[in-house]
Amino acid sequence: MDFQRGSRHCPSSRGPWCGKIKLANADDLHSYLCVSATVIPKPTTRWSRLLRGAVALLACAPAGHVAVGRLRSWLSFAMLVGLWAAASAAGLTTPFLLPAPLAVLETGTRLVADGTLIGHLAVSFVRVAAGFALAVLLAIPLATIIAALAPARALLLPPLEFLRHVPPLGLVPLLILWFGIGEASKVAVIVLAAFFPLFLGTLGGITQCDPKLIEVGRICGFSRRAIIGRIVVPAATPAIIVGLRLALGYCWRALVGAELIAASAGLGFMILDAEMLARTDIIFVGIVTIGLMGLAFDTLALALTRRLVPWVRQELNLGRG
């Protein structure tokens, strides 16, 4: 595919478009993007120069390369921050509603320097870790029992399905009455948020195991324990790991709601306190911190999974480089 400047298939120097574009396949699209990135009108501001450079780099980088894929992911964040900064610099937003990125960065640096952010983060981390651990201890064994035993499935699955549709925040008044306003009620909210993604992932992974594999195991003389350990568990592992990742994300998502319950520390408390004081910059610092922590733990879990359970590597490539 020829993309000469001025031809009817490419952008020309006379304008952004000079004819219809005919793209045969993905390679033609990639080549076209590489050429079009070089003929974008010359930038007039610092932000437009950065945007033009990012577009050119995203378009002309070799397709399919792992490092390039990760670079493109980070560049998408950078472009989003750049648009945010450009909108703030142009006066399209007010600092009260949407502070500039530099203001948020300065506030975050100050909160880290005086130890405020680290203290709140440590408290929230303990709550998330406790809630996630309890959810794992409850969800995986219960899902295994329900999948293996028909009487347990008939007895336990209907009330669990009912409870799954009740939002954890709707149970906060009951949790306060049952557990008080201490740490137990906060951890209970996180457990309720993380339990069902992991429970359903484990249950689905076990019940969807290929019956032919189980039959082959029986023909080979495997015991029930060997069938579970050597056939069912490896087959269900991808679904269980996806459930673990979802549960970990739901723990961080439920954090703010959990810390509504008479909290005096934590990232959720910091965000709610900043809302009362109309400190939008601190709210953004808390949101960004929760997002970065969730992303970091998900990346760590994915890396450990690829190393410890290598046979599920392909199943876990869910858009992550």
Which pLDDT tens digit goes with each residue over 247-260? 998 998 888 888 87
Distance CA 60, CA 39 (A): 13
Distance CA 30, CA 37 (A): 11
Cα dihedral 94, 97, 100, 105 in deg (nearest 10): 150
Question: Residues for the chain: how many in total?
Answer: 321
Residue 29 has pLDDT above 90, yes or no: no
The burial class, CB within 10 Å (0-12 / 13-18 / 19+), for 232 is buried
Largest CA distance in the chain: 76
Q: Higher-confidence residue: 63 or 203? A: 203
Q: How confident is the model at residue 39 (pLDDT cuts 50, 70, 90)?
A: very low
Distance CA 266, CA 55 (A): 39
Q: Higher-confidence residue: 111 or 85? A: 111
Distance CA 29, CA 88 (A): 34
Alpha-carbon torsion (79, 84, 87, 92), positive or negative: positive
Tokens read off for 80: 């989003």
DSSP for 253-318, written as a single string: HTHHHHTTTT-SSSHHHHHHHHHHTT-HHHHHHHHHHHHHHHHHHHHHHHHHHHHH-GGGTGGG-S
Distance CA 128, CA 310 (A): 27
Distance CA 314, CA 238 (A): 9
Distance CA 72, CA 80 (A): 12
Element (H, E) at 212: helix 211-219
pLDDT at 289: 93
The mean pLDDT of the chain is 78
